[in-house]
Amino acid sequence: MKMFEYMGKELFAKFGIPTPKGRMVTNPEDAAKVAAEIGGPCVVKSQVLSGKRGKAGGIKFPNTPEEAKAAAKEVLAMTIQGLPVECVLVEEKLKIDKELYMSITVDGSAKQAVMIASAYGGMEIEAQPEEYIIKKHIDPELGMHPFFARDVIRQMGVAINSPHGKEMVKIVQNLYKICKEKDAELVEINPLVFSDDKVIAADAKVTIDDDAAFRMKDLPLVDDKSPAERAAADLGLSFVELDGDIAVMANGAGITMGTLDTLQAFGGTPRNFLDCGGGTGREATAKALKILLGLKPKSMFINIFGGITRCDDVANAFKDINTELGGFPVPVVIRLVGTNQEAGREILKSIGIEAFDFMQDAARRVIELTK
């Protein structure tokens, strides 16, 4: 579960991490009021769960309350990477002497939190050469000690006894405290700004572990799922929207990833990832097919290797939807092998669908039909 920037900064402030003065508003008039309270140049920032807001024009730098009102009106009318802007953060414009990068995330392979930092922050941090990036794992038994923070800060080229260095030690420790107390998967500051002798989090990115959301009642978490992703989640299915044109369903995370990779290797573009898992029955499969059709794909590719999943259940789900809709509105290609495969294939044949034996053959066929 992600948090908007303003939510992340409110959390930072509670944990003693300095942030710019300002607050979130939902209309131009309130933006002007906040700008007047700030009493000088300010920043109007779109609040969407997306990066590259500046490049999209979603960050403005007005100098007066009147300009802030106009800027907020413009930004609130925008859509950034498909996301409508429903609120903006109005805050003071910082004097920036230097921009750095600092984050703590989870390294699944190491089963530890990892500190990632760089003396070169700001836009396009991911484009920085590897030698400019500091990565240091945090031993969960030792936790975060001042010596760990000091070591990271030294590697960033900041003097430990300087005003900046002393403040950064506190920030590193407080970032880890947020991760531990709030079950965060990611806490990121980009950029972390030197402004005279102050160190300020000019941005905030916080992601809370979905499985911990039930015990984080004090956090204003944002559900960033699309309607289709939400519908799939209600069915207990793993689903992610993509930007291709071939709807995909398979039964297992590995086979679904393999299906997507095969399509792309042969020149196709998947519209989604949908893992129906093992044992998904007739009714749930039918509902999953409706979710896929709601994506308006050019074609559908179903890849079932039945173990726990019964091929006749899958075929009957197709028959149910075919009857309900009077036929599928897009071409459908199915690879169907495994438990009760002959019964399943006979059911599909009755509605005019021939099943394939091999994923590669089915993938080539669906790409032909799509083109």
Are β-strands 205-208 and 2-3 bridged in parallel, bridged antiparallel, or unpaired? antiparallel
Place of tokens 């700008």: 35
Catalytic residue among 101, 167, 176, 229: 101
Residue 174 CA to residue 178 CA, distance in Å, equals: 6
Q: Coil, strand or helix: which one is 224?
A: coil
190 touches 125 (CB < 8 A):
yes
Q: Is 176 designated active site?
A: no
State CA 167 to chain mean position distance. Answer: 30
274 touches 237 (CB < 8 A):
yes
Structure tokens at 14: 């509670």
Q: Is 188 designated active site?
A: yes
Residues 6+ away with beta carbon under 8 Å from 93:
40, 41, 42, 43, 61
CA separation (Å) from 69 to 20, 55, 208? 19, 21, 33
Residues 6+ away with beta carbon under 8 Å from 324:
none
Catalytic residue among 67, 91, 188, 229: 188
Residues 6+ away with beta carbon under 8 Å from 208:
1, 2, 3, 182, 183, 184, 185, 216, 219, 221
DSSP 142: T
Active-site residue numbers?
101, 188
